[in-house]
Chain A
Amino acid sequence: MNFSGRNDAASANMKPIQVKLVLLGESAVGKSSIVLRFVNNEYQDNKEPTIGAAFLTQRCKLDDRIIKFEIWDTAGQERFHSLAPMYYRNAQAAVIVYDITKPASLEKAKTWVKELQRQANPNIVIALVGNKIDLANNRSVPYEEAEAYANENGLLFFEASAKTGTNIIEVFTELAKKIPYEQILANNKTLNSRTNGQGDNGRVNLNESENNNQDGGQCNC
């Protein structure tokens, strides 16, 4: 016996799976704009540089799952580079952005890829995104070059435009498809049983070591 709508209604209320996603890349390549386009479907010219790390969430429906992206949009300026590990640590997904009109930004992106491959969660899913294809007339990074690099390094690759919205949703949807959920769920389970569900909002937790709550019978506080 079945009736239409039921499946959907049931899955719709399912607890979303939380995925920590970090955006990295050189200053002014459009990281915040990509997030803004993805989250609010908005675009702002001349955005001020991000000083800090912005936090936003966005749910995504994927087959029968709800994915809740917890997005950390980091500051691109070089002087903040040393703080980046705080944000890509424990991230399950990363979007590394460069500007197709600036070859140097691709080089910077490559160093991020290397750093993540060396230091981040080994299962991290990385997407390389060449932003600003609305400025294709001034293109100085050929599509093929970046694509070849991405393929070599096992990255998802997109050219996109936060300004026009081209390919933005696709970046996140394709990332969502690649994430090893079973592993996340399994990890969450062990994590939850150990720390009594603490930090389940996936935030950067600077005090993880303190959280060894011995009293299992206590409520989550």
Chain B
Amino acid sequence: METKEAIKYFQSILRLNEKLETEYLTGISFGQSILVTIVSNISTHEYCLFLLEKNFFGVSIYKIISIDENFNFNIEKKFTNNNIIWIFKGLNIKELKVTIPMKQQYYKDFKYKLEKIYEEKKNTEYYEDFSFNWLNNYKSYETDLEEKFSNITTTEENPFIHPLSSEITLNYCLSRECWVSKQLAIEQPKFIDLRKINIFIGTWNVNGKNPDCSLNEWLNSYKYKTPDIYVIGLQEMDLSKEAYIVTNNERESLWCQRIEEGINTSSKKYVKVASQQMVGICVFAFVKKELKKAISNVSTTFIGCGLMGIMGNKGASGIRMMIYDSYVCFVNSHLAADSSQVQRRNEDFKDITKSLLFPFIPPSENINNYYNGTGFNKEQFYTENMLRFNITSNKWLNNICQENLKEKENMKLNFSIFDNDILFWFGDLNYRLNNSGDAIKEYINKGKIEDLLEFDQLMIEKEKKQVFTDFYESKIHFIPTYKYDIGTNIFDTSEKKRAPAFCDRILWYKSPKALKPSEISLNKISKEDEWIIPKNYNSYRNLTISDHKPVFSEFEILVRKVNKEKYSEIYSQLIKQLDRHENDSIPVLTVSSFVIDFGKITNNISSTKSIIIKNEGKVLSSYELVTSLDHNKSKSTFPYISVKPSSNSIYPGESQTVNITLTITTETSLKNIDEIIILSVKNGNDMFLNIKSEITPSIIGIPIETLCQINQPLSYYPWDTIIELSNKKELSDKTKEILEKEEFSCIPKCLYIIIDFLMKYGRDEKYSFNNGNIIIKKYIIYCLNNNIDLDINLLLFGRSSLSDSNLSSLDRLTSLDSMDTAISSISRIEKLSLYDYRLSESKNDLTQNVYKNYSLKEVKNKISIITKKQGKLPSINSMAEVLMKFLYEFPKAVVPYEIFKKYGSKFQTLYSALPPSHANTLNYLICYIGDTISYELFSKIELGILLS
């Protein structure tokens, strides 16, 4: 399981005195997979929580929370789908929610541990002592979610390679999609054309009146160009009490009809795009027939914020539509009335910006693109829209993460009014003039409209950034549109004598972050370089049915139009580039050699070669030895090959030495080795390593029965013959032929030679089984393997029985390779004696000489020097050690375990149950032991070792 791998990697970065306290827990935080685990520092008794993030390429530290006085954890009692939400708090983290499946087997253990630690720490007063300095080591691993996302938007490099560390810390899919979107945004000028659209926006508080008048003149009082789109917002369209309870479209259709009559003339025809009524607040949108095909994704919405904050006497209704490839939004609102209610109006504005949400309606003709078989594709949807909205903030990305947590069915996608390219806000905003009615009227009479604006509450509030921040309005040149006596152009003469005010306004929004048209498209069609260019702002005074006068404004807006061919072309290029990036980020490990030739090796002797694996890629890469080629078998295909470390992660540019060890025994049934093992690079290439070696047999590690069957030097027999004999397989013709000439000996010949030597020459010496001399042992095994008579004079007295000339001829006869084998086999014995028994002075021999190659002549000279100096004891000790080793390495003990277990101490039955060669050997050994005991040649302890 990948989790285990991830945790393995994590464990590898922990240092010596740091300990993983719990098995890990799996959870989700912000849509990311998280492993939660407790780590302690043994030396400082400090505990902390590690949150590890799993991602496409492995594991990295997401957050570390030290369990100190600031630490706190809670379990939210909101169980969804058997998930538990844990809330962690700490010094560096305000609140972190992690959703953990309750079914997790480690859940209880974790909770118990954490509670225990927490309680313990809470009750101690040593917090001051805790510095958590050791955590600094991990700070570099830790990256913040926000930071990561900001990296997506700032780096244009390979999205698969994290710029800060060698690890990929981004969610794979997300980074890919974000990268494409980001690049598309950069490439926008190449495929986006701009289109000019003329918009006529009108707003009128109609005071609940029926449209008993013609709107023709008003709606055609545009000065600039024939509008492509009319958007009309009415307030108090329906003041009847029923309007609050039942939606009655009667008024709406009356007004709609009236507007249509007004805008449609012989030269231009419009169609209604949408309308949305909420009690008296109604907004209509009409588009020129020719432009109809450019409009898509139309949605409408409304929100009430009147009485009790929900009633529809005040509030807003809105229309959102896509014109070519830009989202354009219109908000018609009626805010709280009364001169003193500035604060209330500001609140209404905030409420509306927060709550006026447009539902997402999947475009019907493209529905399959979104419903990708598995449900709604959020990422795709968001990223697509990121491009459209020129979104530079991380809000959307965080949303994606949060949305991921929600159940699919419950998922609601909404757009705020700011999730648009172009936003207009108009209506009866009800902001008044901070002056007396008489004073205002005087200003008006004198034509000093500009001076009057200084008292305008909206402008004052806007200036203080209390409301309509980042909204713009054209300069007002018209006289206040409120409040008139019905049927006249005379300001309110009623008892209340309400002061005139600019209640009815039209504003537009311009994000400070928004890109300019010239940054998005190459075709410059307006010298202003703005998305919205106001052209005319006025009121129309000849409509007298209401106490308000209508206000209207003309705009020229720019919308984006994607050039399909160019887009397609650029997109394909990006995908190509993405592939290249992805291929660049594929882990690349190289090996120093593909062929590992062990040369000649000896059975039962492990032989090790090293290769160097280097990370030449750009990401943290891990390799793994593929032990089994057949995925159904759990058993290793090559039990005799071991690779250490068998898996590991390597940082870019770094290398790792990997030791490959071959251990051949008669049980592994092999002749010469020519095998391929696979080092698989995670998410990358597979490397084939060719392991080669030839086997030179040694008497050590060959079964007793086999040894009894052969009389010639071991090297005389092919290895497969030895294997066949050892495994009691059916003998091949070749083996039969070889064995025909052989006599069956009752005990292994070499055992006879060894014990014969010990009994003949060892009786007068007190010898041990562990003080052998490396050179002598080497010589003895060499002789035994090759069936060469031991040079007794040399071993006992340091006198070579052969003349120098004979020696050199022997040198030529025996290959140096087999000498090497003898040397290496000795080294194995030496190592064993290092671990199994006490160490003697032979340690020096080991370190100095073992890995050097000597000719037989040199060996003999050395032995001669030793024995001349120390007498025959070293030789006898060496022989005894060879005996020990020889017995120790039998694949089947002299008294096999199963027989020993069956018959135990009943010697007679045990004896008769043994195979003849084993029985003979045992017999022979007992004689030898009896002999040695009678001479008290060695201690009983050593005897015990021998017998076991």
Q: Which residues of A contact B (CB under 8 A)?
A: 1-15, 39-40, 51-59, 61, 64, 66, 75, 79-80, 82-83, 86, 185, 189, 192, 198, 201, 203-211, 213, 215, 217-221
Say whether A220 contacts B33, CB under 8 Å: yes
Q: 11 additional contacts, CB 8 Å, given A13-B379, A58-B583?
A: A5-B561, A9-B387, A13-B377, A13-B384, A53-B688, A56-B586, A59-B578, A206-B680, A215-B104, A217-B103, A220-B33
Docked complex Cα distance between A51 and B295 (Å): 58
CB distance from B173 to the nearest CB of A (A): 8
Best-buried of A3, A14, A207 by chain B (most CB within 10 Å): A3
- A5 partner residues in chain B, CB cutoff 8 A: 325, 561-564, 567
1/0 per residue B53-80: CB within 8 Å of A?
0100000000000000000000000000
Docked complex Cα distance between A204 and B678 (Å): 12
Say whether B177 contacts A13, CB under 8 Å: yes
Q: List 16 A-B contacts (CB under 8 A).
A: A1-B363, A3-B325, A5-B563, A5-B564, A5-B567, A13-B180, A13-B383, A14-B377, A52-B685, A56-B583, A58-B583, A75-B688, A86-B631, A203-B683, A206-B628, A206-B680
CB distance from B867 to the nearest CB of A (A): 51
- A58 partner residues in chain B, CB cutoff 8 A: 579, 583
- B35 partner residues in chain A, CB cutoff 8 A: 221
CB distance from B418 to the nearest CB of A (A): 22
CB distance from A29 to the nearest CB of B (A): 18
Say whether B28 contacts A83, CB under 8 Å: no
List CB contacts (< 8 Å) of B1-29 with chain A: 1-3, 6, 26-28
Docked complex Cα distance between A130 and B166 (Å): 41
Task: Report the nearest B residue to A210, measured CB to CB.
Answer: B1
- A66 partner residues in chain B, CB cutoff 8 A: 575
Say whether A206 contacts B690, CB under 8 Å: no
Determine which of A13, A40, A55, A61 lies in contact with B684 in the assembled complex, contact meaning CB atoms within 8 Å: A55
- B676 partner residues in chain A, CB cutoff 8 A: 79-80, 82-83
Docked complex Cα distance between A56 and B681 (Å): 13
Determine which of A11, A14, A61, A83 lies in contact with B629 in the assembled complex, contact meaning CB atoms within 8 Å: A83
Determine which of B28, B325, B688 lies in contact with A52 in the assembled complex, contact meaning CB atoms within 8 Å: B688
CB distance from A64 to the nearest CB of B (A): 8
List CB contacts (< 8 Å) of B283-303 with chain A: 292-298
Interface residue B140 (Cβ < 8 Å from any Cβ of A): no
Docked complex Cα distance between A105 and B3 (Å): 44
Docked complex Cα distance between A207 and B177 (Å): 30
The stretch of B349-357, B368-376, B534-542 in contact with A is: B368-376
Say whether B322 contacts A219, CB under 8 Å: no
Docked complex Cα distance between A192 and B576 (Å): 28
CB distance from B82 to the nearest CB of A (A): 6
- A61 partner residues in chain B, CB cutoff 8 A: 572, 575
Determine which of A12, A40, A209, A219 lies in contact with B28 in the assembled complex, contact meaning CB atoms within 8 Å: A219
Top 5 nearest A-B pairs by Cβ distance? A5-B562, A10-B369, A13-B380, A221-B3, A52-B687
Say whether A221 contacts B54, CB under 8 Å: yes
**A7-B366, A54-B685, A57-B579 are known contacts. Are A215 and B377 too (CB-CB below 8 A)?**
no
Say whether A15 contacts B377, CB under 8 Å: yes
1/0 per residue B156-186: CB within 8 Å of A?
0000000000000000000001001000000
Interface residue B396 (Cβ < 8 Å from any Cβ of A): no
Say whether B369 contacts A14, CB under 8 Å: yes
CB distance from B660 to the nearest CB of A (A): 16
Interface residue B931 (Cβ < 8 Å from any Cβ of A): no
Task: Report the nearest A residue to B377, measured CB to CB.
Answer: A15
List CB contacts (< 8 Å) of B649-705 with chain A: 676, 678, 680, 683-688, 690
Interface residue B642 (Cβ < 8 Å from any Cβ of A): no
Interface residue B745 (Cβ < 8 Å from any Cβ of A): no
Q: Give the B interface residue count (CB, 8 A).
A: 74
Interface residue B138 (Cβ < 8 Å from any Cβ of A): no
Task: Report the nearest A residue to B383, measured CB to CB.
Answer: A13
Say whether A39 contacts B583, CB under 8 Å: yes
**A53-B685, A55-B685, A219-B26 are known contacts. Are A2 and B628 too (CB-CB below 8 A)?**
no
Say whether B688 contacts A51, CB under 8 Å: yes
Task: Report the nearest B residue to A13, measured CB to CB.
Answer: B380
Say whether A217 contacts B373, CB under 8 Å: no
- A221 partner residues in chain B, CB cutoff 8 A: 1-3, 6, 26, 33, 35, 54
**A52-B688, A57-B583 are known contacts. Are A218 and B103 too (CB-CB below 8 A)?**
yes
Docked complex Cα distance between A210 and B2 (Å): 11
- B380 partner residues in chain A, CB cutoff 8 A: 10, 13-15
Docked complex Cα distance between A51 and B374 (Å): 39
- B455 partner residues in chain A, CB cutoff 8 A: none
Say whether B631 contacts A15, CB under 8 Å: no
- B363 partner residues in chain A, CB cutoff 8 A: 1, 6
Q: Is the interface of A mostly helix, strand, loop or mixed?
A: mixed
- B372 partner residues in chain A, CB cutoff 8 A: 14-15
Docked complex Cα distance between A201 and B325 (Å): 34
Docked complex Cα distance between A171 and B384 (Å): 32
CB distance from A182 to the nearest CB of B (A): 10
- B583 partner residues in chain A, CB cutoff 8 A: 39-40, 56-58
Task: Report the nearest B residue to A57, measured CB to CB.
Answer: B582
- B295 partner residues in chain A, CB cutoff 8 A: 1
CB distance from B370 to the nearest CB of A (A): 7
Interface residue B81 (Cβ < 8 Å from any Cβ of A): yes
Say whether A207 contacts B631, CB under 8 Å: yes
- A40 partner residues in chain B, CB cutoff 8 A: 580, 583
**A75-B688, A215-B101 are known contacts. Are A55 and B571 too (CB-CB below 8 A)?**
no
Say whether A12 contacts B571, CB under 8 Å: yes
Docked complex Cα distance between A76 and B921 (Å): 53
Determine which of B82, B177, B365, B579 lies in contact with A59 in the assembled complex, contact meaning CB atoms within 8 Å: B579
Task: Report the nearest B residue to A208, measured CB to CB.
Answer: B631
Docked complex Cα distance between A122 and B424 (Å): 60
Say whether A51 contacts B594, CB under 8 Å: yes
- A198 partner residues in chain B, CB cutoff 8 A: 2
Docked complex Cα distance between A199 and B256 (Å): 58
Determine which of B28, B324, B383 lies in contact with A3 in the assembled complex, contact meaning CB atoms within 8 Å: B324
Docked complex Cα distance between A208 and B628 (Å): 12
Docked complex Cα distance between A71 and B897 (Å): 53
**A8-B564, A13-B384, A83-B688 are known contacts. Are A218 and B101 too (CB-CB below 8 A)?**
yes
CB distance from A162 to the nearest CB of B (A): 17
CB distance from B413 to the nearest CB of A (A): 15
Best-buried of A51, A52, A61, A203 by chain B (most CB within 10 Å): A52
Interface residue B632 (Cβ < 8 Å from any Cβ of A): yes
Docked complex Cα distance between A156 and B366 (Å): 34
CB distance from A6 to the nearest CB of B (A): 6
Interface residue B150 (Cβ < 8 Å from any Cβ of A): no
Determine which of A6, A80, A209 lies in contact with B631 in the assembled complex, contact meaning CB atoms within 8 Å: A209
Docked complex Cα distance between A51 and B83 (Å): 48
Docked complex Cα distance between A24 and B177 (Å): 33
Docked complex Cα distance between A55 and B572 (Å): 22
Say whether A80 contacts B688, CB under 8 Å: yes
Docked complex Cα distance between A6 and B364 (Å): 12
- B579 partner residues in chain A, CB cutoff 8 A: 39, 57-59
List CB contacts (< 8 Å) of B582-627 with chain A: 582-583, 586, 594, 626
CB distance from B405 to the nearest CB of A (A): 11
Interface residue B466 (Cβ < 8 Å from any Cβ of A): no
- B297 partner residues in chain A, CB cutoff 8 A: 1
Docked complex Cα distance between A81 and B311 (Å): 78
Task: Report the nearest A residue to B566, measured CB to CB.
Answer: A5
Task: Report the nearest A residue to B6, measured CB to CB.
Answer: A221
- A39 partner residues in chain B, CB cutoff 8 A: 579-580, 583
Best-buried of A55, A61, A83, A221 by chain B (most CB within 10 Å): A221
Task: Report the nearest A residue to B387, measured CB to CB.
Answer: A9
Docked complex Cα distance between A205 and B575 (Å): 26
1/0 per residue B136-165: CB within 8 Å of A?
000000000000000000000000000000
Say whether B562 contacts A219, CB under 8 Å: no
Task: Report the nearest A residue to B626, measured CB to CB.
Answer: A206
CB distance from A132 to the nearest CB of B (A): 24
Task: Report the nearest B residue to A53, measured CB to CB.
Answer: B686
